[in-house]
Structure 1
């Protein structure tokens, strides 16, 4: 199967924070890969903007190093690299002052798609937005891309939205969540809404429960002071995992249209029940395997911030009433994996004597590693020993099922930046969606802060705190094993 190459329109993309970590690891390598793949017209321009005193050649040297480090060797074509680097330029700019803005104005062309990527701290969003208009660089068709965190609570999220709204309309603002750019996340919508097989079963009558797991092996060492101000709830649940929950639980939109999809996601967030204290487990990883523990990495021996959280969530609507959603995420766990597992109910009546051999039907959507889907079904165990049941997987890894096109799955940032250029907001969060998510999250955080709850310790390299196992066991269920 060969994927189609659909180039975007000619564009000028300004990357504020163009010398930063995100730009070097994701944005520049991702743009190169799309240029290598034929999606970016050669007339397009990419302009780095930051405080560093660099010229165009210095910035291209940085970009060359980023491509060498973060792009696989099979895509590093010397001629393509040189052609791509020729499209890059740099402007030294003062986000809070006047230096560099007149120069930037001469670099951004009229009549092209104009996009401005705010790969900077949220505290600078307002300054950048104001100066883009003050110096008449942006216009009514320009687009801005803003990175998370979108605030740290409802109040700050509203303030951030208000600042951006002073200079840009909602249709111009692209709030990026890289989880929504993953191939499997988008395929979740295709599986649900393009196949009659699943959608009739996608409700509480047939679904016993849903598990969403985002497990990481890395610690917070090196960024502990930042992470300690956020924690797993703010860093992962309020945004990434909330988006996954919405895509699983939402009603079919009337059309695959940005606002239609986001309207349905918003309804899910507003239907979320408050989470009871007994349905929350928080943890902190301990030292082990030659590495320090969370308290050491965050440099605060009295920290009550969680590096792990598990929650039991209910959605009060007709489709999902009575079906629990179990969410868990954490650092320094056994393996790096992200997956969604939809476990279906058992048949109302079994005609087979081998009842103990029965296992649930489970649809597993793997986000990382090895993106793909796996449906576990019951069949007869081969052999002459009677009707014995066994569970087998119907496995679809994208790399195997789609051949060459399956092995060249774009990075999430590549896809999302191309969507910005195309003007497609389907995979980006709307302002009211962000605020609704914080409106649900804030009382949970305020609750454990008022109670003075302390996170439970867990061993590095484990599956998390023991209490998280009990969260499932008391319901007669079990977490899926964390493994790559």
Structure 2
């Protein structure tokens, strides 16, 4: 199977924070892979910006090192790398001053797509937007890309949106969430809306419950100072998990175009019920002789910030009323894995006897990482003589198997999303009112536990989280899926 690569229009992409960790690990290697695949035009230009002084050649050597370390194996072609580096330059700019901005303005061409990637902290978003406007780089077709966090609460999100909208229209702002760029997440929409098989069953009549899990084996590590002010709720649930929830639960848009998709996602957020205290579990990982505890990682023995959270959610609309949606995410867990599991109800009557009722029913599993793909668990007869013995088997579709040698050429999330910015396609980006609606739902939940001062439950590193999280499902005769790396 040969994957199609559709070239984009000529562009100038300016990366503020061009020497930072995100640029080094994701943005620049991703751009090289798109260049290697032939998707970038020959006259594309990439400009790295930071406050550090360096020459074009010095910056190119930094980019070369990033490609060698993080580019996909098999794409480290010396001639390709040299050709890619030729389109890269560097300008030292002061985000809060005027240094370097005139030089940058001279580099940005008027006749091509202009995109500015804000790979910096949110505190600098307003300064960058203001200077792009001041130095006449904020044209009608200009696009800006901003990374999360999109605020710390509803008020800060509203202020941030208002600041950006002083200089740019909503149609020019691309709030990037790399989870939405994953191949499987987009395939979720294709499976739902491109096949008659699933959509008629995608409702409370046939779905028993849904599980969304984003588990990490690493701890907070070097992000301790940021993470302790954020926690799992702000860092993961309000954005990543919320977006996955919206895609799994939304109504079919009238057309696959940006505002139609985002309108339906917004309806899901606004239909979410408040979370009851008994339906929420917060956790904090302990340490052992091999790994540091959460307290050690954030250097605060009194911290009550959660590194794990599990919740039972309800959506009050006709499609999902009565169907619980369980979400969980955390650090230092058993496996690094992300998945969505749609658990369908049992058949209303079993013709195979009582033992057949022990079957757990059909489950559609969408794996986001590792090994992106999907599988559907179905019940069949066990082969061989001896009567009607039922077993469960997966109908598996992983991209590595389905695409064969071309699987490695599937663009990763950052590659796809950056190319979507150049195309002007906002379908996989969050709109401002989505961000604010998510904070409006999350703020009361956060406020309730901050007012109570209740400590998160402890859990052992390498476990599945606090035992109390298991009870969210056990008390209703359900159980979490055993996600594996």
Partner of 1:90: 90
Distance 1:77 1:342 in 2: 42
Question: Once the 2 structures are TM-superposed, how far is the Cα of residue 289 of structure 1 from its aligned partner?
Answer: 4.6
Matched, 1:253 2:253: yes
SS class of match (2:478): coil
Partner of 1:28: 28
Distance 1:472 1:408 in 2: 39
Partner of 1:300: 300
Question: Once the 2 structures are TM-superposed, how far is the Cα of residue 359 of structure 1 from its aligned partner?
Answer: 2.4
Distance 2:289 2:326 in 1: 29
SS class of match (1:80): helix
Matched, 1:428 2:429: yes
Distance 1:73 1:254 in 2: 41
Matched, 1:335 2:335: yes
Partner of 2:148: 148
SS class of match (1:441): helix
Matched, 1:460 2:467: no
Distance 2:152 2:229 in 1: 9
Distance 1:356 1:135 in 2: 69
Question: Once the 2 structures are TM-superposed, how far is the Cα of residue 137 of structure 1 from its aligned partner?
Answer: 1.8
Is the contact between residue 115 and residue 420 of structure 1 (CA under 8 Å) also seen in structure 2? yes
Is the contact between residue 381 and residue 390 of structure 2 (CA under 8 Å) also seen in structure 1? yes
The superposition leaves residues 253-279 of structure 1 with CA deviations (integer Å, 9 ceiling, x where unpaired) of 000010000000000000000000000
> What is the correspondence of 1:437-456 to structure 2 with a 5 Å cutoff?
437-456=438-457
Partner of 2:214: 214
TM-score (norm 2): 0.99
Partner of 1:159: 159
Is the contact between residue 218 and residue 331 of structure 2 (CA under 8 Å) also seen in structure 1? yes
TM-score (norm 1): 0.99
Gaps of 5+ in 1: none
Distance 1:257 1:222 in 2: 39
Is the contact between residue 373 and residue 397 of structure 1 (CA under 8 Å) also seen in structure 2? yes
Distance 1:323 1:241 in 2: 17
Distance 1:66 1:40 in 2: 19
Partner of 1:170: 170
Is the contact between residue 357 and residue 388 of structure 1 (CA under 8 Å) also seen in structure 2? no
Matched, 1:287 2:287: yes
SS class of match (1:342): strand
Question: Once the 2 structures are TM-superposed, how far is the Cα of residue 72 of structure 1 from its aligned partner?
Answer: 2.7
Distance 2:328 2:115 in 1: 35
The superposition leaves residues 208-245 of structure 1 with CA deviations (integer Å, 9 ceiling, x where unpaired) of 00000000000112111110000000000000000000
Total equivalences in the alignment: 484
The superposition leaves residues 415-454 of structure 1 with CA deviations (integer Å, 9 ceiling, x where unpaired) of 0000000000000000000000000000000011111111
Matched, 1:50 2:50: yes
Structure 1 moving runs of 4+ over 6 Å: none
Partner of 2:226: 226
Matched, 1:345 2:348: no
SS class of match (2:229): coil
SS class of match (1:175): strand
Question: Once the 2 structures are TM-superposed, how far is the Cα of residue 14 of structure 1 from its aligned partner?
Answer: 0.3
SS class of match (1:310): strand
Partner of 2:385: 384
Question: Once the 2 structures are TM-superposed, how far is the Cα of residue 355 of structure 1 from its aligned partner?
Answer: 2.2
Distance 2:289 2:318 in 1: 47
Distance 1:397 1:168 in 2: 40
Partner of 1:477: 478
SS class of match (1:403): helix
Distance 2:237 2:285 in 1: 18
Is the contact between residue 27 and residue 414 of structure 2 (CA under 8 Å) also seen in structure 1? yes
Is the contact between residue 398 and residue 407 of structure 1 (CA under 8 Å) also seen in structure 2? no
Partner of 2:12: 12
Gaps of 5+ in 2: none
Distance 1:73 1:322 in 2: 47
Partner of 1:195: 195
The superposition leaves residues 156-204 of structure 1 with CA deviations (integer Å, 9 ceiling, x where unpaired) of 0000000000000000000000000000000000000000000000000
The superposition leaves residues 13-54 of structure 1 with CA deviations (integer Å, 9 ceiling, x where unpaired) of 000000000000000000000000000011000000100001
Partner of 1:266: 266
Measured on the aligned residues, the alpha-carbon RMSD in Å equals 0.8
Matched, 1:121 2:121: yes
Distance 2:401 2:427 in 1: 28
Is the contact between residue 284 and residue 308 of structure 1 (CA under 8 Å) also seen in structure 2? yes
